[in-house]
Amino acid sequence: MAEQTADPFDVRHQVQVGSQGARRLRAGHLWVYDGDVTGEPEGSEPALVKVADAAQNCLGYAFYSPRSRIRLRLLTRDSAPPTADLLRLRIQEAARRRVDRLVPNSAVRLVFGEADLLPSIIVDAYSRYLVLQTLSRGSDSLKELLVPILVELFQPLGIVERNDLRARRLEGLPESSNILWGEVPQAVTIEERGILFEVDLLHGQKTGFFLDQSENRHAAAGHARGDALDCFTHSGGFALHFARVCESVLGVDLSAPALEQARHNARLNNLSNVEFHEANVFDYLRELDRSRSRFDTICLDPPAFAKSRRALAGALGGYKEINLRAIRLLRPGGVLVTCSCSYHLGDTVFEGLLNEALHDARRYAQVVERRSQAGDHPVLASMPETRYLKCLILRVL
């Protein structure tokens, strides 16, 4: 059990890190792994600890996770413990940096964990409702403090907790999805660049919607044309953007509930040139190839095939296969929008397997755009782990 104190910022314990862990923190990284920890509290599991090097120099204060491989998540480099005022200020500053994002969209990520110097804390806004994730023991211990701060700063109608993630299990925390404050309807309608989407904040993917692809959906629609195919469409994100500029759009996914939501979203926008088909994308791409179907625009936005470094080798074949099939289905001059949200699949390897797929298909391609996650999911320069999404827009010749 975690040790409870009246004040969550009443820090009574210290964790000592080795030379490699100290170098990482001083270089601007926020994580220290278990192998870089040389001294930990015994008989206690405090949520927040002081971090010191071998010479007992204070390196700051961090969330402490004794059951996780990521042992420490640095919250502040200051020599004094953090306070509720620091938490409030960082949330306020993070939201201020997103003000311009609320103009084209009514849904935005207000706080992106480590990238906003609030490790393992996620806050998304969907119209007048907020979704909170606390993904480590340390941030979870601050949940009762975070909720009133969010109410004070944003005056939401309701706040949902979406802590039903596997990452919580690695922390020894229970998974949960419920309403923390106020009232939240079963469905919330948001607007993205003029397109309406209905989202389920309590049960939808991630915190309700794939917000990290918002700018890529808009950019891809700027190149889309003709007959379009949206693979792994889920609730129709790319498909509905394509439908405004393409003659016809076919969205494919294996999830029947997601496709029902996609059809509902199409009706919300009075789009009649888009249809959705339930199928395994790998199998369906092979069927389309056998039937000699051809498209002018294809989008591949699969789930992460490599959720860990160990899974990467097995995932490479999957990424190559779907891209090879898509390339074969494109008419000359067609547009391929291909994505990967696997952090462990680096840019060089991703582009390498695309080149292999092009070679096998005996096609060439021009790189139209290299893109990443939306700007409300910023990248912390000293922490490459905060950049995970890759999106390439290619013109296949």
Question: How is the chain split among helix, strand and coil, in percent rounded to 5?
Answer: 35, 30, 35
Helices (DSSP H) in the chain: which residue ranges?
Answer: 19-26, 84-96, 137-140, 143-154, 166-170, 214-221, 237-243, 256-268, 281-290, 312-329, 347-361
Exactly one of 246, 299, 339, 341 is catalytic; which is it? 341
How far is Cα of residue 10 from the mean position of the Cα atoms in its chain? 32
Q: Distance between CA atoms of 87 and 266, rounded to whole angstroms?
A: 40
Residue 66 token pair: 């004794």
- Helices 281-290 and 312-329, packing angle to 10 deg: 30
115 close to 377: Cβ distance less than 8 angstroms: yes
How far is Cα of residue 145 from the mean position of the Cα atoms in its chain? 24
Q: Which distant-in-sequence residues (6+ apart) come within 8 Å of 167 by Cβ?
A: 135
Q: Closest Cα partner for 211 from 389, 25, 393?
A: 389
Q: Backbone phi, then psi, for 351, in 5-degree steps? A: -70, -30
Q: Closest Cα partner for 8 from 142, 146, 209?
A: 142
Active-site residue flag, 341:
yes
Q: Distance between CA atoms of 62 and 266, rounded to whole angstroms?
A: 45
Which residue is it, tokens 């991630």?
206
228 close to 248: Cβ distance less than 8 angstroms: yes
Q: Distance between CA atoms of 315 and 313, rounded to whole angstroms?
A: 5
Q: Closest Cα partner for 114 from 382, 396, 293?
A: 382
Three-state DSSP state, 217: helix
Q: Distance between CA atoms of 289 and 330, rounded to whole angstroms?
A: 10
Active centre residues (catalytic): 341
